[in-house]
Amino acid sequence: MGKTLFDKIWDAHVVKHIPDGPDVLYIDRHLVHEVTSPQAFSSLASRGLKVFRPEKTFATCDHNVPTLGQDEPIADESSRKAVEQLAANTAANGITYFPLGDPGNGIVHVIGPEQGIVLCGQTVVCGDSHTATHGAFGNIAFGIGTSEVEMVLATQCLLQSKPRQARITVDGSLAANVTPKDVILYVISRLGTDGCTGCFVEYAGEVFRNMSMEGRMTVCNMSIEMGAKGGMVAPDQTTFDYISGRRFAPAGEELAARISGWKALKTDEDAVFDREYHFDAADIGPMVTYGTNPGMGVAVDGVIPSEAVGCDAATFDKALAYMDFHKGEPMSGKKIDYVFVGSCTNGRIEDFRAFAKAVGGRRKAEDVTVWLVPGSKEVEAKIEAEGIGDTLRAAGFRIRQPGCSACLAMNADKIPAGKYAVSTSNRNFEGRQGYGARTILAGPLVAAEAAVTGYLSVPVI
């Protein structure tokens, strides 16, 4: 029996197999931020230990940072202390750190790839659930807890049991107004939030082969929203072209040698998965969520189901009550108060290009608050270099500074209670964007349409 892409990477990283137990897995890249690392560093210091291989760890501040006035001290005391502690911990341990204002700063899952820190065929971990993003490069990438962060800092290894595997294949051609975000929202709406529980997912088929790296990252980012441990796409020329020229990436003959090896990172034809799913691109339209988990999704021109889908009836009814939506209602035409474009899901330059194109010279709706938040300083710089910033400002928009922003209520960018927000982030749980906030997940094209009309509607580009 052949091996899957996942098998090949996993087997190459097993330091030791414990009989009837987990594997000791070597970790190639460890990413840290200010939220989940302080306790791990503190515990390490209390034991008189230093970081074992600091050159394998990279840090940034993103969750607690403001997206305006980053040249000033952070106003919120707890956030300021968290960022200061990260700076102190990384300095004490010789870890590369990208502070606020640094050209390399940004959301951890945006800067890892764009700085060339994350390559192919690696094991990548971070104390953040959306570490799955980095699987877009053909990696085993997953989130870990604080005790595991400490373990990696101390040993560059983790104890892990090998998960089951699933493959999701999408073939055909997507419509012009369908984005990678719509693809993954559609898949989750079909499989449910537990559709791939305990599995690592490989995305295959024509749709993913034709996606940009930004698109693949968006898809892999949301793998965990259907219960998966992570998601991955086999590397190809699109991957190699993206990596070339990045700051921390290999270059010249070394890069050529690496690419030669990376070309073998693909699933064998006779490999067997624990689960297989197939979808047709023609069935996928611009998507939105109507409930309080990413699996509660329909096409933006569709209607809310009349009965529970992917959850029990009580959960379904509770979600609709929270959103103040009703069974059988159309999603198109619903009034929107806020629009947020950003996060580790859709905060890359491709997303802002798509948003600006969809705005198409129209002006921002006066009664809608719009937060456009680049995922990194590099994205921010490209927005200006490409003239996107000037175009959007002329249309009444404002470009904020990089950070996790309104993805989660850990900074100043919170959606007020009872308000509806179209968000390009990854989760629509109760209170995720602020107490009582009502989140509708969508891609950048649907977000643009809401930003200029004030309502949900099918994007026309």
| Average pLDDT score over the chain | 97
DSSP-based three-state secondary structure for 23: strand
Task: Please report the pLDDT score of residue 1 as a whole number.
Answer: 86
415: closest CA among 398, 431, 397?
431
Residues of the chain with pLDDT > 90: what percent?
Answer: 98
Euclidean distance between CA atoms 303 and 323, whole angstroms: 14
Q: Could you read off the pLDDT of 400-452 as tens digits, one per residue?
A: 999 999 999 999 999 999 999 999 999 999 999 999 999 999 999 999 999 99
Q: Examine domains 5-160 and 287-453 and report if their fold is the same.
A: yes
CATH 3.40.1060.10 fits 164-235+260-283, yes or no: yes
CATH of 5-160, one of 3.30.499.10, 3.40.50.300, 2.60.40.10, 3.10.590.10: 3.30.499.10
Q: Could you read off the pLDDT of 109-168 as tens digits, one per residue?
A: 999 999 999 999 999 999 999 999 999 999 999 999 999 999 999 999 999 999 999 999
Q: Is the pLDDT of residue 310 over 90?
A: no
- CB–CB of 173/44 below 8 Å? no
Euclidean distance between CA atoms 408 and 432, whole angstroms: 5
| 123-127, 222-226, 457-461: least confidently modelled range | 457-461
Task: Please report the pLDDT score of residue 293 as a whole number.
Answer: 97
- Phi and psi at 391, nearest 5°, equal -60, -45
Q: Where do the domains of the chain lie?
A: 5-160, 164-235+260-283, 287-453
Q: For residue 12, what are its two tokens?
A: 């190459």
Q: Could you read off the pLDDT of 177-208 as tens digits, one per residue?
A: 999 999 999 999 999 999 999 999 999 999 99
Q: Averaged over 314-325, what is the pLDDT?
A: 97
pTM score of the predicted model: 0.97
Q: Could you read off the pLDDT of 237-287 as tens digits, one per residue?
A: 999 999 999 999 999 999 999 999 999 999 999 999 999 999 999 999 999
- Partners of residue 57 on adjacent β-strands: 30
Q: For residue 96, what are its two tokens?
A: 């590369």
- CB–CB of 145/229 below 8 Å? no
Q: Averaged over 454-459, what is the pLDDT?
A: 98
Residues in the chain: 461
Task: Please report the pLDDT score of residue 461 as a whole number.
Answer: 84
Q: Could you read off the pLDDT of 369-394 as tens digits, one per residue?
A: 999 999 999 999 999 999 999 999 99
Task: Please report the pLDDT score of residue 381 as a whole number.
Answer: 98
- CB–CB of 305/319 below 8 Å? no
Q: Could you read off the pLDDT of 38-77 as tens digits, one per residue?
A: 999 999 999 999 999 999 999 999 999 999 999 999 999 9
pLDDT-derived band at 33 (thresholds 50, 70, 90) equals very high
DSSP-based three-state secondary structure for 442: strand
Euclidean distance between CA atoms 348 and 379, whole angstroms: 6
Q: For residue 26, what are its two tokens?
A: 């070597």
CATH 3.30.499.10 fits 287-453, yes or no: yes
